[in-house]
Amino acid sequence: MVVRETTGGLAAPLLTMQLLRLVVLLCACVAASAFSAAPGAAVLRRSPVAASALTMAHHVQKKSTKKHNDRRPKKSSPADRNRTPPTYAVNPLAAMHATPDFTVTLKAVAV
C-alpha cells in the first residue's frame, strides 16, 4: 500500500479506503469459491457417476415395486373392503382318488 503524505491529512482515509477495498475483494473471492468445485470434495465422493446422478435427479420417479403398489386398484367402498375371498367347492381328497385320465393298453416293445 502506498501512503501519501499530504498537508490536508488524507493519509488515514486513503489507507482506510484501500483496506476496505481489500476486505470487499476477499469477501467476493470467498463467495465465488462457494460455487466452484473444491479440490477436497472429490475425496469425499464414492464415485463420480453416483455423485452426478444425485445432483441431476430433479424429478425422482418411483421404481418398479413402489410404482406398481401405487397404481394398483384400491378398495374404496365398504363393500370392497368387507369382501371375503370366494369359496370353491373343490374337495382335494376326491381329486386325488379320481379315475385316471388315461390308461395304458399296450406295453412298449424293446427294439
Residues 4-23, buried b or exposed e (16+ Cβ, 10 A)? eeeeeeeeeeeeeeeeeeee
Grid cell 365398504 in the structure block, residue: 78
37 phi, psi to nearest 5 deg: -75, 125
Number of residues written out for the chain: 111
Please indicate, yes or no, whether the overall pTM of this predicted structure exceeds 0.85. no
Q: Is 39 a residue whose pLDDT tops 70?
A: no
Residue 42 has φ and ψ, to the nearest 5°, of: -70, -25
Contact between residue 1 and residue 18 where contact means Cβ atoms under 8 Å apart: yes
The label of the residue with cell 488515514 reads 12
37-62 as b/e: b if 16+ CB within 10 A: eeeeeeeeeeeeeeeeeeeeeeeeee
pLDDT of residue 70: 93
Average confidence (pLDDT) over 49-76: 80
- 47: pLDDT strictly greater than 70: no
